[in-house]
């Protein structure tokens, strides 16, 4: 018998980082809304809409920094609201929700492939590239360039405290890309031998600043000091429309146990452990942002946001957002 997946399980797995990566989180949130629609026992569109709102609220509470999460939910929920006003029959209403969510999932996957193609054009023979954390878009760029027979090497920061960089190193080495794994604090040491830095994004704000895994801003600062090109690879649904309204992206702080075991911490009285999961890289430390729609300077982030979200009303923006901080 096929096990029934619950929305609460997806929400828990996102919160506990069993589901991780901004793009994957967005796709899983869309999947959760599909499950909500499929499992609704009522035959009333209004009741299904209530269940979607409940699921959306649960999902939005999981990871406050991943802008892709509210953006995917917003896209589906606004489509559902529009369909609800049309007084459709239940099955037709439900199918619109499922189709909208599936379209988002498919377009999200296509965006990664397109970024891979566009970004690979920036990789040259002989390049020495450094990256941080584990990004599907960055990996797509590097794998595409490698499949084009380009000769380059990659240095990967291990990305404390969850070590996502080890996943990147494994993925790249498995396809044959020469890869070196380093501790995060060694990035400055190796930067003098690097040609380009490429990272992914959890969010890009209206002024072009990047919100990404903790340690990214230090990497960008080291690259800036060494005059190494710093690229960001991000799907357009990772751009934050709320920041046009003055909202701030909340930086998630996770449990201290990710840094130090609880049984060791109790032997260290009067110590506070801070564990921010993300940091902010200013736009002046970013050279280019690679999206599925092309390459832009960070100063053009506001243009992308207006094109993607400009038609959405302010109250609809704020209805489906993560907590501001």
Q: Is the peptide bond before 165 cis (omega within 30 degrees of 0)?
A: no
Percent of the chain at pLDDT above 90?
87
Confidence class for position 312, pLDDT limits 50, 70, 90 = confident
**Count of CB atoms situated within 10 Å of the CB of 220:** 27
Residue 114, pLDDT > 90, answer yes
User: 202 an active-site residue?
Assistant: yes
The better pLDDT of the pair 251, 319 is held by: 251
Give the architecture-level CATH label for domain 7-113: Up-down Bundle (1.20)
Mean pLDDT, rounded, for 65-71: 88
Residue scoring higher pLDDT (122 or 319): 122
Work out the pLDDT band at 324, boundaries 50, 70, 90.
Answer: very low
Integer angstrom CA distances of residue 144 from 105, 174, 222, 318: 21, 14, 26, 38
Task: Give the pair of three-digit tokens for residue 160.
Answer: 């404390």
Does the pLDDT value for residue 59 go beyond 90?
Answer: yes
- 3-class SS of residue 234: coil
Query: Would you say the pTM of this structure is higher than 0.75?
Result: yes
Homologous superfamily of 115-311 in CATH? Translation initiation factor eif-2b; domain 2 (3.40.50.10470)
**What would the pLDDT profile of 169-189 be if each residue is shown by its tens digit?**
999 999 999 999 999 999 999
| 300 DSSP assignment | G
Tell whether the model's pLDDT for residue 325 goes beyond 50: no
The gap from C-alpha 314 to its chain's centroid, in whole angstroms, comes to: 23
Q: For residue 35, what are its two tokens?
A: 């499950």
Measured torsion, CA atoms of residues 156, 201, 109, 293, in degrees rounded to the nearest 10 = -120
The predicted pLDDT at position 64 comes to 85
Q: Which of 127, 184, 202, 287 is catalytic?
A: 202
Tell me how far CA of residue 146 lies from CA of 120, 197, 212, in angstroms. 8, 16, 25
Q: Which residues contact 315 (CB under 8 A, 6 or more apart)?
A: none
Q: Are strands 153-157 and 179-182 parallel, antiparallel or unpaired?
A: parallel
- The answer to whether 157 is a known catalytic residue is no
Rounded Cα–Cα distance for residues 97 and 108 (Å): 17
184, 157 contact by CB (below 8 A): yes
297 close to 221: Cβ distance less than 8 angstroms: no
How do the domains of the chain map onto residue ranges? 7-113, 115-311
- Which of 289, 156, 129, 291 lies closest to 215 in space, CA to CA? 156
CA 37 – CA 41 distance, rounded (Å): 9
Q: Among 104-108, 186-190, 260-264, 317-321, name the one with the lowest average pLDDT.
A: 317-321
179-236 confidence digits (pLDDT tens): 999 999 999 999 999 999 999 999 999 999 999 999 999 999 999 999 999 999 999 9
pLDDT greater than 80 at residue 3: no
Catalytic residue among 40, 133, 157, 287: 133
Average pLDDT over residues 42-59: 95
Please, what is the end-to-end C-alpha distance for the chain in angstroms? 45
């Amino acid at each position: 018998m096929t096990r029934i997946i619950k929305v609460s399980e997806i929400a828990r797995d996102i919160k506990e980082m069993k589901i991780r990566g901004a793009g994957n989180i967005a796709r899983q949130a869309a999947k959760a809304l599909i499950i909500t629609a499929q499992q609704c026992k009522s035959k009333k569109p209004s009741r299904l809409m209530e269940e979607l709102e409940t699921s959306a609220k649960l999902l939005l509470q999981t990871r406050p920094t991943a802008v892709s999460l509210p953006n995917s939910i917003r896209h589906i929920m606004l489509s559902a609201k529009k369909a609800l006003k049309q007084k459709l029959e239940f099955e037709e209403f439900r199918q619109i929700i499922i189709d909208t969510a599936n379209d988002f999932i498919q377009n999200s996957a296509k965006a990664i492939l397109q970024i891979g193609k566009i970004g690979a054009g920036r990789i040259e023979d002989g390049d020495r590239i450094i990256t941080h954390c584990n990004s599907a878009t960055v990996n797509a760029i590097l794998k595409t360039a490698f499949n084009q027979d380009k000769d380059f090497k990659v240095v990967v920061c291990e990305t404390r405290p969850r070590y996502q960089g080890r996943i990147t190193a494994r993925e790249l080495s498995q396809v044959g890309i020469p890869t070196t794994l380093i501790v995060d604090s060694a990035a400055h040491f190796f930067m003098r031998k690097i040609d380009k830095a490429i990272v992914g994004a959890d969010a890009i704000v209206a002024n072009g600043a990047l919100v990404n895994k903790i340690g990214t801003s230090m990497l960008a600062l080291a690259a800036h000091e060494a005059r190494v090109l710093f690229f960001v690879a991000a799907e357009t649904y990772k751009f934050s429309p709320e920041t046009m309204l003055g909202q701030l992206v909340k930086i998630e702080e996770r449990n201290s146990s990710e840094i130090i075991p609880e049984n060791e911490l109790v032997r260290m009285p009067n110590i506070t452990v801070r564990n921010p999961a993300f940091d902010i890289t200013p736009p002046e430390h970013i050279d280019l942002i690679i999206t599925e729609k092309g390459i832009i300077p960070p100063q053009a982030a506001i243009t992308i946001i207006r094109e993607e979200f400009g038609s959405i009303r302010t109250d609809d923006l704020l209805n489906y957002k993560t907590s501001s901080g």
